[in-house]
Structure 1
Amino acid sequence: MRIESFDALYGKTSPMMQVNDGYVKWLDYKGIEELEQRAMELDGRTFPHLDRLVQVIRSQQRTFGDVTEPLDEKLSLLAKGEAYTMVTGQQVGVFGGPLFAVYKLLTVIKQSNRAERMLGKPVIPIFWMATEDHDYAEINHVFTTQSLSRTLKKDALSSIPLAGKASVGDLEFERLKIELVQMLQRLLMSETETAHTPTLYAELVDLIQESHSFAQFFGGMMRKFVGNDFVLLDPHHKEIRELEVPMFKQIVKKHDSILNTFRHTFEEGMPEVELNKEAAHLFYHDGTRELLTKTEDAFTTKRGHRFTETELLEMIEQHPERFSNNVVSRPLMQDFLLPTLGYVGGPGEISYWLQLRPLFHLFDWKMPLLLPRLGALIVSSNDEKKLSQEHVTVEEYIQAPLPDHLFDDEAFDLDLYPFRTLTESVSQEAKKHGRRFESQARYALEKLAEEMRADAKRRQYRLNERRIRLSTRLMPMNAPQERILSMVPMLNRHGVELFKRIKSEYERSEYERCLIKV
């Protein structure tokens, strides 16, 4: 395995390229070089709930698999306020979700180790699993290849009660286990069988059977195939909600200030991103997950729930498990719960985090370091061979993927002109013996012509097979590989230790946008 720098993954204006360049004026810290300043700010704050939070974290890790002894020791120090954290997060997609989810995890581990060396104090990598989200359609599918087609098939789980309405952490996972095994079978059948397939299949079936939630399935994937030197945090947990009560209350009390500030956070030059700036930035759970909005003197939901501020604060105190964060309040809650040095995000997150800095300031905090996740393209030796046969480099291909060779019907018809002339001549000769002979002759020769056309098209398809293979592996459906493919095809092609090997090589590299040659 070899890792090389590969900036061709993103355009020059991508948030992944601009976060530490063109966007620095909207950040409190200009990158990892200002890590010590961030640590000093955190040292001036208090986190009285850390001891209890670490107890919950330890309890959760037993669900996913034990952590290493050094990490457990760091958790003990975190409980005493003597360690920092580095955070990333993602929705809990089936089979690990798109590849960029595991890339986020690899980045937060690497950046935590780097920060630890720079500060001389323990830093814990934390993956915040977005189990409070309710977008079932975002997590319930994988993409599989189809024979001689550039279009991948979206293979999705069936709907279940409250899907798309309740948090995914509340959905019934048990009833989907058979479907997940069948999905895995289809996913592997769409791949070429390798020496790794039987082991991978057996391990994933076991993991499906052992899991009792989307979070456990997702976390189990990361534990099994990445390692046990990071923390998996499931925020949709009653005891964590209890620790969040003070921050929930602050968000409610500061609603008007947040609203007025947030309306003016977008500046010319920032990426365009849709954010609901009128919401109260908290969800209320009553069977379904409903966004709270303040209208006049009350907080309401679309289903008719209505609370005065006093009533809402009382409800938060009595039933914190009925509340969760939205995309805006989650970063604030992370900063409240954890001494967060930095957040590792992708292009979408970077885009909306740029508008959040003034909200951190409302709480007398600064926004943590905003760090881009690993961007990667996994390329096999077979892929490289096919690119060479097409006389293009990987970089050229990513910038301009090769289209199919088009079948030229008009040129084929021109080639058939002599045959058409012969058909006419034979038909006329047959006609001398009766019209039915003419009809039979013309039918037989026309059928032969269509068979020749079909055979020419099959030859054309075979010419395109190499290009189709490159497309589905490197730029599936003209989208980045990391956004479409899951971990499973890669594990099947390159072995169940693949991401542990990538983790080791990436840790030693200096690159954050990588070409991974396996």
Structure 2
Amino acid sequence: MKIHCVELHQTGQFSRFFLDYLSEKKELRPFYTHSPKLESFKDVIEQKTFSHEKRKVLVEALNGQYANREVSHAVSANIESLASDRTFTVTTGHQLNLFTGPLYFIYKIVSTINLAKKLAETYPDYKFVPVYWMATEDHDFDEINYFKLDGKKYQWNSDQTGAVGNFELDKGFKEFLKTVSFAPEVFLEAYNSSMTLSEAVRKYVNSLFGEEGLVVVDGDDVALKREFTEVILSDLFEHKPFEKATEATGKLEELGYSSQIFPREINFFYLGKGIRERIEKMESGFGVVNTELRFTDEEISTLVEQHPERFSPNVVLRPLYQEVILPNLAYLGGPAEVVYWLQLKGVFDQYEVPFPMLLPRNFALLLSEKVQRKMKQLNWGVEDLFVDEEHWKKTFVKSEASMDIELTKQREIISTLFDMKGKEAGHLEKSLENAFQAGKVRSLKIIDQMARKLRKAEERRLHTQIARACCIQESVKPGGSPQERVVNMMQFYLSNPDLISELLDCFDPLDFRMMVLAHES
């Protein structure tokens, strides 16, 4: 692939908050610990403490999660290596989108794998394991039950409720699967051989990335949740996470940054079969919203001790949970993820858990041969791909027009004529000057109408070039959103089975630019 890099601020796709973090704006320094640089990892490693007992729990839990499944030697070796105090993880996470969902799911994982490789080269005395945190406890089914390919939406409808990882791949799913028979075997085999959505996602992620040693972690695990009981109890009874996150949120808002997440007094859901609902403090004890479940203080404390798996952290505490159970050095996420972590450093400090380095995943735009041909016909460079479509069209039509379509000189002549004659007429009668001004306004409106007609005529004459530009823009920003946030990987993977290996060759996890990747025929 040919690689062209564009600075993120030139793309118009990223918030000031995110860009200020990457540029290490001094006002944001109190909200994180380590600068997003390769040399910073020396300090991250030295500050990361993770006990032998926790490592033992983690390894046993992972072996349990991978039991009775085909596991590559690289994955097996990485899991066992986590027992050593010289092994660390670098992590990304995502929902269980059907068929991986948007392209950035793949970008996250490739970035994480490549970061582990780069760290291994830079710090050879340590081992680094790439981790995909599988968001099995998420309950926003409508966010994950579809994917888009060639402009068409493929959707699985189900009335199942609760954590999506436990959704059964039932008869309704099998019917849905018939509509995507074109999908690569890696997906069809995973879905057809699995009972639940989480099982299927683990299988296809392992098939796609297992040889790279990627370890899939499911936080919905009783042994791992037991490591988090102290925080669960603290959140339920003391509301410390709410206090610390709210404090940081207020300070960020004072600096002009918008909140990405909104902490609650209690930041846990109750998790059960078909249920993932918020826990709330009541006049007496606790309740689970939208259910009849009620607990006294003593009952809920006992439940935490005996069944920690029934407590599912929300977005405020999931990052902390991850860092409590993993010997993790860095989290790689999208722009919104990276900045919402900045609201949470105080929560980490409260529980004396080291705050990881925050890194953006790689950003990429894939160009098909068809798009490249159209770009060549228009003499477009990669920077032109990120120009606003309407702005480009106006500029292009004006530059290519056979005449002055804005009628600039004519406007000046008419305006000057009415002003001059209005002043002359004003000497005869004051009201006549106002009448001439009103006439000027009406005349300029007619000129504007004519200019619009001329523009439309020129657009019709240049329709071939404009159509090419629209085709390019629909590939770059389908429906107005960046390609990587909309298009499924199969858009490119079906015609190029080497897509993932090519991305592994191209991505540099510490190069914070947009990569425009042009496949060579």
**The two structures share one fold, judged by TM-score above 0.5:** yes
* Counterpart pick for 2:341 among 331, 335, 353: 353
**Does residue 1:93 correspond to 2:97, yes or no?**
yes
- Check if 1:256 corresponds to 2:216: no
Give the 3-state SS of the residue equivalent to 1:184 in structure 2: coil
Change (3 A) 1:74 1:270: farther
Equivalent residue for 1:5?
5
1:74 offset after TM fit, Å?
Answer: 3.6
Counterpart of 1:170 in structure 2 is 166
State the distance in 2 between where 1:135 and 1:218 align.
16
Kept in 2, the 8 Å contact 1:173–1:214? The answer is: yes
In 1, Cα distance between equivalents of 2:387 and 2:16: 14
Alpha carbons 1:270, 1:354 under 8 Å: kept: no
Match for residue 487 of structure 1 among 482, 486, 489: 489
- CA distance change for structure 1 residues 20 and 498 in 2, over 3 Å: closer, same or farther? same
* Inter-CA distance 13–28: structure 2 relative to 1 (3 Å threshold): same
Q: 1:290 aligns with which of 252, 277, 301?
A: 277
Give distance in 1, aligned partners of 2:190 and 2:240: 46
What is the SS of the residue equivalent to 1:342?
A: strand
**306-315 or 128-137, which deviates more:** 306-315
> Which residues in structure 2 correspond to 1:193-272 (within 5 Å)?
201-228=184-211, 229-253=213-237, 255-266=238-249, 267=252, 268-269=254-255, 271-272=257-258
Q: Does 1:502 align with 2:506?
A: no
Unaligned residue ranges in structure 2 (runs of 5+): 395-458
How far 1:281 moved relative to its partner? 0.9
The verdict on how the C-alpha distance between 1:116 and 1:125 changes in structure 2, with shifts beyond 3 A counting, is same
Residues 325 and 497 (structure 1), Cα distance of their counterparts in 2 relative to 1, 3 Å cut: same
* TM-score (norm: length of structure 1): 0.77
User: What is the match of residue 407 of structure 2?
Assistant: none
Checking the alignment, whether the CA contact within 8 Å between 1:341 and 1:368 is kept in structure 2 is yes
Three-state SS of the structure 1 residue aligned to 2:131 is strand
Secondary structure in structure 2 of the residue aligned to 1:218: helix
Q: Could you tell me which residue of structure 2 aligns to residue 328 of structure 1? A: 316
- Does the Cα contact within 8 Å between 1:87 and 1:108 map onto a contact in 2? yes
Name which of 148, 152, 174 aligns with 1:143: 148
Q: Who is 2:160 aligned against? A: 161
Instruction: Give SS of 1:377's match.
Output: strand
Deviation per CA, 1:467-518: give whole Å up to 9, x if none: 453233221001100100111111113x222112211232599565311121
SS at match of 1:5: strand
Match of 1:276 in 2: 262
Alpha-carbon deviations, 1:9-34, whole Å to 9, x = none? 45564454332323444211112332
Q: Confirm or deny: 8 A CA contact 2:149 2:491 kept in the other structure.
A: no
Q: Which shows bigger deviation, 102-111 or 288-297?
A: 288-297
Mean Cα displacement is larger for which, 88-97 or 136-145? 136-145
Matches within 5 A, 1:39-54: 39-43=45-49, 45-46=50-51, 48-54=53-59
Q: 2:132 aligns with which of 127, 136, 140?
A: 127
Deviation of residue 142 (structure 1)? 1.2
User: Would you say the 8 A contact 2:366–2:517 is kept in 1?
Assistant: yes
Which of the residues 8, 31, 38 maps onto 2:36?
31
- Unpaired stretches in structure 1, ≥5 consecutive residues: 146-151, 189-199, 407-456
CA deviations 1:223-250 (Å, max 9, x no partner) are: 3334431101122234433444344334
Q: State the Cα distance separating 1:322 from its structure 2 match.
A: 1.5
- Could you tell me how far apart the structure 2 residues matched to 1:321 and 1:74 are? 25
CA offsets 1:113-163 (integer angstroms, 9 cap, x no match): 222333320111111010100000011011243xxxxxx44332112322x
Tell me if the contact between 1:180 and 1:208 (Cα under 8 Å) persists in the aligned partners: no
Q: Write the deviation string for residues 157-181 of structure 1: whole angstroms up to 9, x where unpaired.
A: 112322xxx0001212233442342
Cα distance in 1 between the residues matched to 2:513 and 2:382? 17
- Give the Cα–Cα distance (whole angstroms) in 1 for the partners of residues 284 and 248 of structure 2: 24
Q: Distance in 1 between matches of 2:175 and 2:18?
A: 36
Q: Structure 2 vs 1, CA of residues 364 and 238 (structure 1 numbering), >3 Å: closer, same or farther? A: closer
Identity of aligned residues (%): 24
8 Å contact kept, 2:224–2:325: no
Task: Give yes or no for the alignment of 1:372 onto 2:360.
Answer: yes
Q: Do the aligned partners of residues 203 and 104 (structure 1) sit closer, same or farther apart at CA in structure 2, a change above 3 Å counting?
A: closer
> Does the CA-based 8 Å contact 1:227-1:500 persist in structure 2?
no
Conserved in 2, the CA contact under 8 Å of 1:56 and 1:240?
Answer: yes
Find the aligned partners of 1:220 and 1:403 in 2 and give their Cα distance. 45
Contact 2:361 2:509 in 1 (8 A): no
Pair 460,5 (structure 1): closer, same or farther in 2 beyond 3 Å: closer
What is the CA distance between 1:342 and its match in structure 2? 1.0
In structure 1, the residue matched to 2:413 is none
1:300 to 287, 291, 301: 287
**1:303-334 CA-partner distances (Å, limit 9, x unpaired):** 34333443222101222222211101111111
Residues in 2 aligned to 1:357 and 1:509: alpha-carbon distance in whole angstroms: 22
Whichever residue aligns with residue 218 of structure 2, its letter is: D
Aligned-pair Cα RMSD in Å: 3.0
Instruction: Indicate conservation of the 8 Å contact 1:90/1:128, yes or no.
Output: yes
**Structure 1 range deviating more: 218-227 or 316-325:** 218-227
SS in 2 for 1:19: helix
Q: Which residue of 2 aligns with 1:421?
A: none
Distance 1:76 1:207 in 2: 25
Give the counterpart of 2:381 among 393, 406, 412.
Answer: 393
Q: 1:328-353, CA deviations, whole angstroms, 9 ceiling, x for partnerless residues?
A: 11111111101111111111112211
Moved more, 382-391 or 242-251: 242-251
TM-score (norm 2): 0.77
Select which of 87, 111, 114 maps to 2:118. 114
CA distance in 2, matches of 1:478, 1:378: 16
CA distance in structure 2 between the partners assigned to 1:251 and 1:316 by the alignment: 12
